[in-house]
């Protein structure tokens, strides 16, 4: 049996140019390779000058790195995007309803659609949130939905990021760089803008302020500090929104409100966009040794005195074992079948599933249920026999810590190399804003690309790069 060719988003499966790339390809055919090579170097220099870096943890040098950027855009038609948007909105709405339910009546558990132990034994479930309804009923203010593509109309959700999704600054800088280097491309292609995201983010956050403060809510971004891997993004977004960037030591509880230190004394904050994990948010309620959070902030939050975005406890929606129930979750809360498909998933906590995974380890991708950034995972088809043996031991020791999925034939998009264009696997993280006024999906998102030939790992921490993502106006 012959293998089905991998779907290339520019050239399809049969090397026939796809319509979304028609105008771009006409331009590309007239371009000199030497000029493109110079533009690629120029792009790298622009990123270096702008200071866009991320920290790599787990290495002795803990160095800062530039994320590689590729100048060939990933192009999606308006029709494709409309379908994706409907699916994304449906999924985010369901996740928000799920979070409200599990911290209140747990109707989905009562209905037998989700096992009780998936909640009760989940380390991301926060008992401190039981009975708490955030201002406006919004838990998931900012969401990143990771999508992969396997064919013309075949999209799958790889994972949900409802805790503190990162990467939006790269989406914005990728577009800014392309606009600066290739203005002629944007005059010939009707590309939907992404530059409004910071303004939309600020507007959406302000709309989620507590009822006590609606006139001109004060917003701030809480960062763990300069040593955090995404610090550049925290500072970038605060600057773009025109709000204060604060650390835990800049904040305190004053007269029942969370207030930030200013040159004129302490000023109350209405909305805190936090980029600090739950465990470090409040040393009085969570990790007592945390120096990153604000003592007492959870008490103010429970009393309705501040909006925390995203809400504490949203991390349970990121859990990869919960992910396997998402089609049921979507149907339970929306009454509709899920528009976007899940990747088939084996929960290793189930003995039969574990047996299957162990027998087929060399063909599967295995992930930690709370893992992120490409760490702690096994890609069976590229693993050595020794790696497979060692991972099997981990699985047997802690089966509930893992899920497994088939190795999908991820779509490819060309990248620019010294030898010309070459296909590389990609994924896509669209960014979604939610407020009581509705859901806003930015037209594009962050395309991450595996720069190594044949690699399926797109994470920047594992050597991946990024591309500008174009959504065309049809």
Q: What is the percentage of the chain residues whose pLDDT exceeds 90?
A: 77
Residue 401: pLDDT band by 50, 70, 90 thresholds? confident
Q: Which residue has the higher pLDDT, 460 or 381?
A: 381
Predicted confidence (pLDDT) per residue in 258-308, tens digit: 999 999 999 999 999 999 999 999 999 999 999 899 999 999 999 999 999
Q: For all residues of the chain together, what is the average pLDDT?
A: 91
Mark whether 113 and 142 lie in a shared domain: yes
Q: Which residue has the higher pLDDT, 203 or 229?
A: 203
Mark whether 335 and 367 lie in a shared domain: no
Q: Which residue has the higher pLDDT, 264 or 221?
A: 221
Mark whether 131 and 236 lie in a shared domain: yes
The reported pLDDT for the residue numbered 464 is: 84
Q: Is residue 130 part of a domain?
A: yes
Q: Is residue 309 part of a domain?
A: yes
Predicted confidence (pLDDT) per residue in 33-77, tens digit: 999 999 999 998 888 877 665 554 444 444 556 788 999 999 999
Q: Is residue 437 part of a domain?
A: yes
Mark whether 352 and 452 lie in a shared domain: no
The last residue of a domain, from among 407, 425, 444: 407
Residue 371: pLDDT band by 50, 70, 90 thresholds? low
The reported pLDDT for the residue numbered 373 is: 53
Mark whether 155 and 216 lie in a shared domain: yes
The reported pLDDT for the residue numbered 58 is: 47
Mark whether 256 and 297 lie in a shared domain: yes
Q: Is residue 204 part of a domain?
A: yes
The reported pLDDT for the residue numbered 64 is: 59
The reported pLDDT for the residue numbered 213 is: 60
Task: Tell which residue, 173, 196, 193, 147, has the closest CA to residue 69.
Answer: 173
Q: Is residue 444 part of a domain?
A: yes
| Per-residue CA distances from 111 to 25, 280, 445 (Å) | 53, 34, 36
| Per-residue CA distances from 399 to 376, 403, 421 (Å) | 14, 8, 42
The last residue of a domain, from among 380, 407, 434: 407
Own/partner pairs, 302-306, CB within 8 angstroms, 24+ separation: 302/128, 302/132, 303/256, 304/135, 304/210, 304/211, 304/212, 305/210, 305/212, 305/256, 305/257, 305/258, 306/210, 306/257, 306/258, 306/269, 306/270, 306/271, 306/272
Q: Is residue 190 part of a domain?
A: yes
Going by their DSSP bridges, the two strands 307-309 and 271-274 should be labelled as parallel
Q: What number of other Cβ atoms are within 10 A of residue 11's Cβ?
A: 19
Arithmetic mean of pLDDT, 374-394? 86
Arithmetic mean of pLDDT, 247-257? 95
Q: What is the percentage of the chain residues whose pLDDT exceeds 70?
A: 94
The reported pLDDT for the residue numbered 375 is: 63
Q: What number of other Cβ atoms are within 10 A of residue 336's Cβ?
A: 10
Q: Is residue 63 part of a domain?
A: yes
The reported pLDDT for the residue numbered 79 is: 96
The reported pLDDT for the residue numbered 307 is: 97
Q: What is the pTM of this model?
A: 0.92
Q: How many residues does the chain have?
A: 474
The reported pLDDT for the residue numbered 44 is: 87
Highest mean pLDDT among 89-103, 154-168, 351-365: 89-103
pLDDT > 80? residue 344: yes
Task: Tell which residue, 103, 228, 117, 213, has the closest CA to residue 164.
Answer: 228
Mark whether 464 and 333 lie in a shared domain: yes
Q: Which residue has the higher pLDDT, 266 or 457?
A: 266
The reported pLDDT for the residue numbered 62 is: 46
Mark whether 316 and 385 lie in a shared domain: no
Mark whether 248 and 377 lie in a shared domain: no
The reported pLDDT for the residue numbered 16 is: 95
Mark whether 399 and 270 lie in a shared domain: no
CATH number of the domain that 371 lies in? 3.30.1490.270
Arithmetic mean of pLDDT, 182-195? 95
Owning domain of residue 211? 19-343+408-471
The reported pLDDT for the residue numbered 55 is: 53
Q: How many domains does the chain have?
A: 2
The last residue of a domain, from among 376, 407, 438: 407
Predicted confidence (pLDDT) per residue in 170-182, tens digit: 999 999 999 999 9
Q: Is residue 31 part of a domain?
A: yes
pLDDT > 80? residue 463: no
Mark whether 90 and 229 lie in a shared domain: yes
Mark whether 389 and 444 lie in a shared domain: no
């Amino acid at each position: 049996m012959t293998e089905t060719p991998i779907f290339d988003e520019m050239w399809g499966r049969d090397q026939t140019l796809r319509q979304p790339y028609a105008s771009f390809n006409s331009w590309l055919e007239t371009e000199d390779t030497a000029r493109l090579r110079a533009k690629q170097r120029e792009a790298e220099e622009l990123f270096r000058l702008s200071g866009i870096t991320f920290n790599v943890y787990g290495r002795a040098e803990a160095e800062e790195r530039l994320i590689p950027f590729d100048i060939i855009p990933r192009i999606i038609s308006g029709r494709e995007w409309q379908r994706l948007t409907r699916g994304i909105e449906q999924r985010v709405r369901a996740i928000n309803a799920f979070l409200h339910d599990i911290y209140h009546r747990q109707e989905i558990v009562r209905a037998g659609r989700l096992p009780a132990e998936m909640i009760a034994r989940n380390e991301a479930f926060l008992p401190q949130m039981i009975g708490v309804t955030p201002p406006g009923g919004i838990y998931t203010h900012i969401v990143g939905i990771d999508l992969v593509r396997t064919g013309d109309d075949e999209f799958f959700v790889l994972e949900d990021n409802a805790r503190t999704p990162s990467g939006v600054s790269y989406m914005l800088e990728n577009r800014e760089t392309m606009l600066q280097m290739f203005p002629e491309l944007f005059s010939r292609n009707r590309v939907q803008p992404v530059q409004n995201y910071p303004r939309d983010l600020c507007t959406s956050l302000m709309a989620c302020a507590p009822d006590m403060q609606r006139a001109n809510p004060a917003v701030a971004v809480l960062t763990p500090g300069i040593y955090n891997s995404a610090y550049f993004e925290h500072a970038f977004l605060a600057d773009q929104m025109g709000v204060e960037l604060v650390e835990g030591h800049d904040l305190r509880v004053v007269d029942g409100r969370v207030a930030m230190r200013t040159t004129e004394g302490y000023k109350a904050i209405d909305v805190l966009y936090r980029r600090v994990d739950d465990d470090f948010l409040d040393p009085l309620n969570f990790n007592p040794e945390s120096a990153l959070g604000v003592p007492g902030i959870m008490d103010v939050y429970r009393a309705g005195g501040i909006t925390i975005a995203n809400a504490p406890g949203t991390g349970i929606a990121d859990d990869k074992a919960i992910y396997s129930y998402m089609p049921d979750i979507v149907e339970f809360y929306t009454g509709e079948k899920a528009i976007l498909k899940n990747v088939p998933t084996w929960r290793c906590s189930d003995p039969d599933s574990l047996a299957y995974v162990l027998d087929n380890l060399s063909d599967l991708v295995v992930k930690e249920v709370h893992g992120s950034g490409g760490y702690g995972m096994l890609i069976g088809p590229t693993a050595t026999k020794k790696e497979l043996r060692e991972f099997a031991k981990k699985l047997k020791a802690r089966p509930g810590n893992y899920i497994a999925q088939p190795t999908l034939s991820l779509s490819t998009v060309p990248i620019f190399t010294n030898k010309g264009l070459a296909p590389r696997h990609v994924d896509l993280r669209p960014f979604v804003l939610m407020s009581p006024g509705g859901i806003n999906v930015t037209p594009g998102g962050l395309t991450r690309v595996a720069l190594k030939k044949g690699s399926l790992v797109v994470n920047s921490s594992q050597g991946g790069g990024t591309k500008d993502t174009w959504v065309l106006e049809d």
